[in-house]
Copies of this chain bind each other. A is one copy, B any other.
Amino acid sequence: MHLQIDRQARQPLYLQVAEQIRERIRSGALPAGSRLPPIRQLARELGLTRLTVHTAYAELQADGWIESFVGRGSFVAQRRGAQVHRQTAAPLSPEPRAAAGTLVEIMRLAHRPDVLSFAQAAAAPETFPVRAFGRALQAAIKRYERTLFDYGATEGEAALREQLAAFLTIRGLQVPPERILVTNGAQQGIDLVLRALVRPGDTVLVEQPTYLGMVERMQIQGLRLVGVPIDEQGLRPDALAEAITRHAPRLLYTIPAFHNPTGISMSPARQEAILRVAQQHGLLVLEDDIYGLLSYDAPAPLPLKARDSGGQVIYLSSFSKALMPGLRLGLVVADAPLFDELLSCKRLADLHAPQLTQLALAEYLGRGAFAPHLRAVCALYRERRDAMAKALQRSFPREASWFTPQGGLCFWVALPPGVDALELYRAALEQGVAFAPGQAFFPPLATQDHIRLSFAAHAPAVIERGLAILGELIGRHQARQGRQRPVCAGVPLV
C-alpha cells in the first residue's frame, strides 16, 4: 500500500497514515472486508516504526473503520458500528479523537471497563479519601468565601504553601514556603522547569529508561534526550560524567526514589556520588520524587534534595500518586533566581492554580489526615505488590525476570529472549489485558524486551487472573519466536 509520508509536517506520522487509510476506505478504494497489510510489512514499506503503524491502526480501530482479529490481521469494517459500541462501553471517559502518543493510549486503556489494565502507574481509586476531602472543601469555602474564587497568587495560596513546607519535612526537607511553587501536578512542574531552563536543541539527560511523559514532553519541544544507564543502585556516576562530557547537557532529570519504570532506588552512597558529579560539572538536577512516599518494606529513602548543600537540585513532587491525581496539585522547590523564572512561566501559562483545590488540600493536610491515609495506602499497596510478585512467580515463564520494587507502583519485567513487547501488547489487548510496553520509556533508541506492570489499582485476585493470561501469552509467543527470530533489533519511538 503506497501512502505519502511527510516527515516535516506538523501532523504526527501515525495520523498521516490513519487519515490516508481512512480516505481510501471512504472513497471505496479499500472496500469493506479487505485486508490491511500486516503492521510489520507496512512499517517496512513506509520506513516507519511498527509502533507508528500500530498506533495508526489502533486509531482506525477505535473509530470503527477497521477491525482486528488475533492471528488473522486487520480488515476494513463492514459498517462503522464499532465506534457506537465503544462509546457505550466507556461513557464516562470519552476517548480523545486523536492520540499523540503512548501516554494517551495508557490513560485511555485505564478507563475502559472492558480492559483489565496494568498500564497506568496509578493509585487505587478506592483509597481516595472522598468524604474527608469533601469536608475539607466545605471548611475551605466557609473560611475563604469569595477570595476562594477571585484571582489568586501565581506562586500558590499561602495556607497551602505553609502546609507543603510541613509536608516536605516527611521527606527530610527543610524548605521555607517562599521556595515552594504550587503547580498543576508534577507534569506542570516538569513543563515549567523545561520552559525556564531549556531551549530547542539543548540536551537533557535522563535515566534510561525514564518516565514516558518526560520523553514525549521533550520530543515536542525539540530537545535532545540522552539516556544514561542505570544499575541496581540507580543512575551510574561514571556514565553520567561521560554523558556530561560528551553532550554538554543543560539538565539531568532523575527519579531517585522508586524509579519509574524500574522501581530501583538510588542508594545513599550513589546519591552522594551523583551529586558530586553534578556539582563538579555545574549541572542542574531536576529530581522527580512523586513515588518517594510509597515505601513498603523500610522507611522511604531520602531524596537527593535532602543532601543538596550546593543548591544543585530542583525538587519536584505531587499528590497524584500518594493521594489523588484528580486534584492536579504538585510542587516545585527551587532557589531564588530560578524560582522567579518559574513563577513567570507559571503566570504566563495559566496565571495560577485554582484556590478551591489548593485550600481544600491545605485544610486536609492541616487536619493531620494525610499521615494515616498514607499508612493505609502503603499497607494496601504492599499486599498488592506481594500478590503481583507471587503471580509473576507462578504464571510467567522461567526465562522472564523482574525486580521486586520496595516502593512505587510498578514491576519492570524483562521478557524471555525473543518475545517482542509490542506484539505481546497487541495480543494481550485482544484478550482484554493491557500493560505498558517498555519501548515507551526509552529515549530515542529502544529495546523491545521489557514491560511495565502496575499493581496498585487491582485486588490480588484480579492481579492473579491478569498475570495468568499474560504468562500464558508470553509462553505462546516464546514458543513461536523460538522458531522465528525478529528481524528488527530496536523499535524507536515515534
A→B interface (CB under 8 Å): 10-12, 15, 91-94, 96-98, 100-101, 103-104, 107, 110, 120, 122, 125-126, 128, 130, 133-134, 137-138, 141, 145-155, 158, 178, 183-185, 187-188, 191, 200, 213, 216-217, 220, 320, 324-328, 336-337, 339-341, 343-345, 347-357
How far, in Å, is A69 (CB) from chain B's closest CB?
28
User: Could you write out 9 A-B pairs with CB less than 8 Å apart?
Assistant: A96-B153, A101-B344, A104-B347, A107-B151, A126-B146, A137-B141, A184-B351, A191-B350, A200-B200
- Tell me which residues across on chain B come within 8 A of A356, comparing CB atoms: 137, 326-327, 356-357
How far, in Å, is A222 (CB) from chain B's closest CB?
9
- Tell me which residues across on chain B come within 8 A of A349, comparing CB atoms: 187-188, 191, 349
- Tell me which residues across on chain B come within 8 A of A354, comparing CB atoms: 184, 326-328, 354, 357
B130 pairs with A340, CB closer than 8 A: no
- Tell me which residues across on chain B come within 8 A of A343, comparing CB atoms: 96, 98, 100
How far, in Å, is A140 (CB) from chain B's closest CB?
10
B122 pairs with A149, CB closer than 8 A: no
A351 pairs with B328, CB closer than 8 A: yes
Instruction: Tell me which of B100, B122, B149 contacts A325 (CB under 8 A).
Output: B149
- Tell me which residues across on chain B come within 8 A of A184, comparing CB atoms: 184, 350-351, 353-354
Residue in A15, A104, A152, A356 with the greatest tally of chain B CB atoms within 10 Å: A356
Instruction: Tell me which of B92, B96, B101, B158 contacts A92 (CB under 8 A).
Output: B158
Per the bound structure, the CA–CA distance linking A348 and B102 in Å amounts to 12
Per the bound structure, the CA–CA distance linking A110 and B146 in Å amounts to 14
Per the bound structure, the CA–CA distance linking A50 and B187 in Å amounts to 38
Per the bound structure, the CA–CA distance linking A185 and B122 in Å amounts to 27
- Tell me which residues across on chain B come within 8 A of A216, comparing CB atoms: 348
- Tell me which residues across on chain B come within 8 A of A327, comparing CB atoms: 149, 354, 356
A151 touching B191 in the complex, CB below 8 Å, given contacts A216-B348, A357-B357: no
A326 touching B137 in the complex, CB below 8 Å, given contacts A97-B178, A97-B340, A184-B184: no
Per the bound structure, the CA–CA distance linking A92 and B120 in Å amounts to 38
Instruction: Tell me which of B125, B148, B154, B220 contacts A345 (CB under 8 A).
Output: B220
A355 pairs with B326, CB closer than 8 A: yes
A220 pairs with B325, CB closer than 8 A: no
How far, in Å, is A436 (CB) from chain B's closest CB?
14
A326 touching B149 in the complex, CB below 8 Å, given contacts A191-B350, A337-B11, A344-B100: yes
Per the bound structure, the CA–CA distance linking A315 and B180 in Å amounts to 34
Known contacts A100-B340, A151-B320, A191-B348; 10 further A-B pairs (Cβ under 8 A): A11-B337, A11-B340, A12-B340, A98-B339, A100-B344, A104-B347, A125-B150, A150-B326, A191-B349, A326-B355
Q: CB-nearest residue of chain B relative to A214?
A: B348
A128 touching B146 in the complex, CB below 8 Å, given contacts A328-B350, A349-B349: yes
Per the bound structure, the CA–CA distance linking A93 and B343 in Å amounts to 15
Q: CB-nearest residue of chain B relative to A103?
A: B347
- Tell me which residues across on chain B come within 8 A of A151, comparing CB atoms: 107, 110, 120, 122, 320, 325-326
- Tell me which residues across on chain B come within 8 A of A12, comparing CB atoms: 340, 344
Q: CB-nearest residue of chain B relative to A108?
A: B153
Per the bound structure, the CA–CA distance linking A353 and B122 in Å amounts to 17
- Tell me which residues across on chain B come within 8 A of A324, comparing CB atoms: 149-150
Per the bound structure, the CA–CA distance linking A92 and B359 in Å amounts to 12
Q: CB-nearest residue of chain B relative to A98?
A: B340
Instruction: Tell me which of B149, B154, B355 contacts A107 (CB under 8 A).
Output: B154
A187 pairs with B149, CB closer than 8 A: no
Q: CB-nearest residue of chain B relative to A351?
A: B187
A347 pairs with B122, CB closer than 8 A: no
How far, in Å, is A146 (CB) from chain B's closest CB?
4
A130 touching B104 in the complex, CB below 8 Å, given contacts A98-B340, A178-B97, A349-B188: no
Per the bound structure, the CA–CA distance linking A248 and B86 in Å amounts to 44
- Tell me which residues across on chain B come within 8 A of A200, comparing CB atoms: 200
- Tell me which residues across on chain B come within 8 A of A155, comparing CB atoms: 94, 96
